Structure 1
Amino acid sequence: MTDITAPPPPKPILTAMKRQRVWLASATILAIIAALSPSQATDSATFIASALLSTGPFLALSVLVAAGAGATGADSLIARAFTGSTAVMVFLAALAGGLSPFCSCGVIPLIAALLTMGVPLSAVMAFWLASPIMDPSMFLLTSGVLGAEFAVAKTLAAIGLGLLGGYTVALLMAGGFLTSPLRDGIGNGGCASASVRAPKPVVWHFWSEPARLHRFKREALKTTLFLLQWLVLAFLLESLMLAFIPAEAITQILGGQGPGPIALATLVGVPAYLNGYAALPLVGGLMTQGMAPGAAMSFLVAGGVTSLPAAIAVWALVRPPVFLLYIAISLAGALAAGLAFQVWTMG
């Protein structure tokens, strides 16, 4: 007798579409663009390919590290490297993030690897927030375009934002919150991974054991496909924003003095994507036309951390509370950086 209370079995087609919804979204958007503007579709496809090539080394390295750590059992060693004093751990992570050569999207694969290995969210958040804002080449270019004072202040803002995020998360975790930051199906769902709870001996020559080699291949493929689908969607949206939203129009309203333009620049910097390097000459020109220095700082900080492509990638990795906290800390940190730099320049 059929149990009428039992839910109907899922349909294979619907199940497959749900699993591939991100790829379907990208394909649908590109198809619509192709129908409306074939040349823009070609430009977007070219942009995606170029962006993936530039991000590819970071993606490949992160996938290899994550899959290799799981296959060898070294993930427990990596996680233990981030144990000890939270204060020191967060400080070092923020400092490393402020000096690392990762962009807002390029850092995503590394963050995914760290979280799935069991690295505490407080340290990961510190690195995550600081990393996209500044790196050695960005420091040199910022010094040349906006001046050494601006470059130093932006570096301090990156480290400060990392510290703010790391210590905020540490306090929340101490209160019992954010114990499972990752979404279901990514790693094993939290910062207390199985490798940390029950560490096993490390087997560096994992390819000599079929089971470990199989795990390496499975995890590498799974991680690559997961990150790739979200990066493709992120880069597609980035290409459309660059094509249809003039950066000059976004930033023309950010001049003047006082906290108003700084707050507005912080909000505008969240959805408006500007490549960090391409943004510098534009912001420099606007500053010569009257854009407030604090507004320039808050715009670059907020845009670097929470641009739409980066936010999409973050959303794909973590649960909504962690994502909302990431956005809130970014907004607060960018606003504080802008206000502080404005006071400094006026003094």
Structure 2
Amino acid sequence: MTIALLLALMLIDTTLAVGAIRFVGEAFISIGVFLALAVLLAAYAQATGADGLIAHAFSGRERSGVAIAAAVGALSPFCSCGVIPLIAAMLGMGVPLAAVMAFWLASPLMDPSMFVLTAGVAGTEFAMAKLAAAVGVGALGGYATLWITRRNGFSNPLREGVATAGCGTGKVRQVTAVHWAFWQDRERVTRFLRSTRQTGLFLGKWLALAFTLEYMMLTWIPAESIQHLLGQDNLLAIPVAILVGIPAYLNGYAAVGLIGGLLQAGMSPPAGLAFLIAGGVTSIPAAMAVAALVRWPVFVWYLVLAVLGALASAVAYHLYLLM
């Protein structure tokens, strides 16, 4: 599909196609270390049998695991697309979906450098509100998911062929003997190479499509149009901000600059927060990567949590400002 898009861009404008290829290449370079580490970590854990240990670490302590995952996610340096390889590795290792969902929702919303940038552009109070929202949305999604999984929902979240070559990954795996020096066993080496190839190709294919779509949206949807739509102070600012933020992809740092201009133009801070939360989690390129990774019920649940989290965060911030 990515090749088809690039060929279509080539027919429309050669310069546009070249720009898309360059953008995709630079995007892969920017997350290349994280992508490689995540793929190799997943393959190593599977080849050694350590995936059972990792999953077992969350067994029986899912409640605290959700809170920890939400807090760690809000401080991790991953964007909404860059977190996909790590999520695939975690689910492939059998980490419970509730903790993974908490990390997944919180991770693209905040990191230390983004906090500093947000504070400089929109003020420390707004940056603190976004940090609280990142942790809160992650925790909300994690505990809501925990409630469902304890009632036998989402028992097998990953699509076939992801991370574990088709094995179910929704349940905590049984702990077996771990062979850390897997290279001494020919069968385990084969398992490592097979997992690396399958996971790397799968994630690379879908991330390439996501980055291509990101380039097209950045090229064809001017920031000025978003500012015109959201820069008006009205009663529907928060829901409109969420609806616009879902499809309008901007990376976290570019979105901060846009929100800074919107706030100066009269946009309400809660609406700005809603835009950042909804856009950071459910932008079209990131959502496509998520849809490629998990089964449809989990994907739909992910979108519902993102929208509800953005709405709840904005309303809570609005009530705080009224105090």
Q: Which bracket does the TM-score occupy, shorter chain normalised? A: over 0.9
Shift of 1:254: 1.6
The structure 2 residue matched to 1:245, chosen from 187, 208, 221, is 221
> Match for residue 121 of structure 1?
97
Shift of 1:343: 2.5
* Contact map agreement 1:115 1:124 (CA 8 A) in 2: yes
Shift of 1:256: 4.0
> Match for residue 8 of structure 1?
none
> Match for residue 2 of structure 2?
26
> Match for residue 199 of structure 2?
223
Aligned letter for 2:50?
A: A
> Match for residue 14 of structure 1?
none
Aligned-residue identity in percent = 52
> Match for residue 344 of structure 1?
320
- Runs of 4+ in structure 1 deviating by more than 6 angstroms, as ranges, are none
The structure 2 residue matched to 1:83, chosen from 59, 62, 65, is 59
> Match for residue 136 of structure 2?
160
Q: Say whether 1:189 aligns with 2:165.
A: no
Q: Say whether 1:232 aligns with 2:211.
A: no
The structure 2 residue matched to 1:317, chosen from 286, 293, 307, is 293
Once the two structures are superposed, residues 218-273 of structure 1 have per-residue CA deviations (whole angstroms, 9 ceiling, x without a partner) of: 11011000000000000000000000111220232223445511011011111110
Paired residue secondary structure (1:191): coil
For 1:336 and 1:306, locate their aligned partners in 2 and report how far apart those are by CA, in whole Å.
15
Paired residue secondary structure (2:236): helix
For 2:224 and 2:151, locate their aligned partners in 1 and report how far apart those are by CA, in whole Å.
44
> Bigger radius of gyration, 1 or 2?
1
For 1:29 and 1:257, locate their aligned partners in 2 and report how far apart those are by CA, in whole Å.
38
* Contact map agreement 1:117 1:191 (CA 8 A) in 2: no
Aligned letter for 1:305?
A: V
For 2:235 and 2:53, locate their aligned partners in 1 and report how far apart those are by CA, in whole Å.
46
For 1:259 and 1:228, locate their aligned partners in 2 and report how far apart those are by CA, in whole Å.
42
* Contact map agreement 1:133 1:301 (CA 8 A) in 2: yes
Aligned letter for 2:243?
A: L
TM-score (norm 1): 0.90
For 1:283 and 1:221, locate their aligned partners in 2 and report how far apart those are by CA, in whole Å.
40
For 2:62 and 2:34, locate their aligned partners in 1 and report how far apart those are by CA, in whole Å.
27
For 1:51 and 1:270, locate their aligned partners in 2 and report how far apart those are by CA, in whole Å.
21
For 1:88 and 1:122, locate their aligned partners in 2 and report how far apart those are by CA, in whole Å.
11
Aligned letter for 2:160?
A: D
The structure 2 residue matched to 1:112, chosen from 68, 73, 88, is 88
Once the two structures are superposed, residues 105-141 of structure 1 have per-residue CA deviations (whole angstroms, 9 ceiling, x without a partner) of: 1110000000011000000000000000000111111
Shift of 1:145: 0.6
* Contact map agreement 1:293 1:345 (CA 8 A) in 2: no
The structure 1 residue matched to 2:111, chosen from 123, 130, 135, is 135
The structure 1 residue matched to 2:307, chosen from 317, 323, 331, is 331
For 2:80 and 2:170, locate their aligned partners in 1 and report how far apart those are by CA, in whole Å.
22
Once the two structures are superposed, residues 28-70 of structure 1 have per-residue CA deviations (whole angstroms, 9 ceiling, x without a partner) of: 1111111111110010000000000001111000011100001
Structure 1 range deviating more: 246-255 or 202-211: 246-255
For 2:75 and 2:248, locate their aligned partners in 1 and report how far apart those are by CA, in whole Å.
24
For 1:33 and 1:342, locate their aligned partners in 2 and report how far apart those are by CA, in whole Å.
43
* Structure 2 residues not aligned, in runs of 5+: none
For 1:206 and 1:170, locate their aligned partners in 2 and report how far apart those are by CA, in whole Å.
34
For 1:161 and 1:207, locate their aligned partners in 2 and report how far apart those are by CA, in whole Å.
41
